Structure 1
Amino acid sequence: MARPFAESFYHSRAWERCRLGFMRSKHWTCERCGAPATVAHHKVHLSPKNINNPNVTLSWDNLMAVCTDCHAELHRKNQTMKFDANGDPIPPR
């Protein structure tokens, strides 16, 4: 589920076209495990600071085709990280 600041982006025509083209280019195959992919994952996570930067939001270089299980795993790894109010990671002490 998208965070509130990103809701309108994920419903935009630009994102829908970008996602569809990217996923087709990856043959709807997970780049981690080879299962059917359903998610275009942003490698650099979206934040309020970069949500309007198409070099982050719409760049195929920042996307990875993944299945739902691998997407959950990618985000589980980030659960140990803390984020500030802007969505930026807080470095560990």
Structure 2
Amino acid sequence: MVREHTTEAKKFYASAKWKKARKNYIESPEVAGLCEHCLRQGLYERGYILDHIIEINSENISDTNITLNPDNFQFLCLFHHNRKTFSKADKSSTQEGYGFNSRGQYVPLSEID
């Protein structure tokens, strides 16, 4: 399941301001390129996606307090990003009986380790 970004979001993610904010956050000593959720569990897994805690949408994409604020960032491995993104209450992003395994792969729940 792939979510497509809007034209406005694609423009934002291609911007120099986003690229600089992303690089600075991921390379900060506190994050050091590691998944922040894993770190809280004492695990050292590489991060994969810089995630916005408050998700970007058409109403807030121009609000730099949301889009470029490091307090709204978290660097996550694929597993934690997919768990957050695809386990929303509406469940519209996943088919019943499917989920994400520890490698971030979309599989039947019976195959989740």
TM-score normalized with structure 1 length: 0.80
1:29 paired residue number:
34
The answer (yes or no) to whether the contact 1:2–1:10 under 8 Å persists in 2 is no
2:65 paired residue number:
55
The answer (yes or no) to whether the contact 1:29–1:66 under 8 Å persists in 2 is yes
Q: Distance in 2 between matches of 1:58 and 1:2?
A: 20
Q: CA deviation at 1:79?
A: 5.9
SS in 1 for 2:37: coil
Structure 2: which 5+ residue stretches go unaligned?
39-43, 93-113
- Runs of 4+ in structure 1 deviating by more than 4 angstroms, as ranges, are none
Instruction: Please tell me the root mean square deviation across aligned C-alpha atoms, in Å.
Output: 1.6
1:19 paired residue number:
22
Change (3 A) 1:28 1:2: farther
Letter in 1 for 2:82: A
Letter in 2 for 1:32: H
Structure 1: which 5+ residue stretches go unaligned?
83-93
Q: CA deviation at 1:70?
A: 0.9
Q: Distance in 2 between matches of 1:68 and 1:23?
A: 15
More helix by share: 1
Higher relative contact order (CA 8 A, sep 6+): 1
TM-score normalized with structure 2 length: 0.67
1:63-90 C-alpha deviation (Å, 9 max, x unpaired) = 00101111111112226267xxxxxxxx
Max Rg structure:
2
Letter in 2 for 1:3: H
Q: Distance in 2 between matches of 1:2 and 1:62?
A: 21
2:9 paired residue number:
6
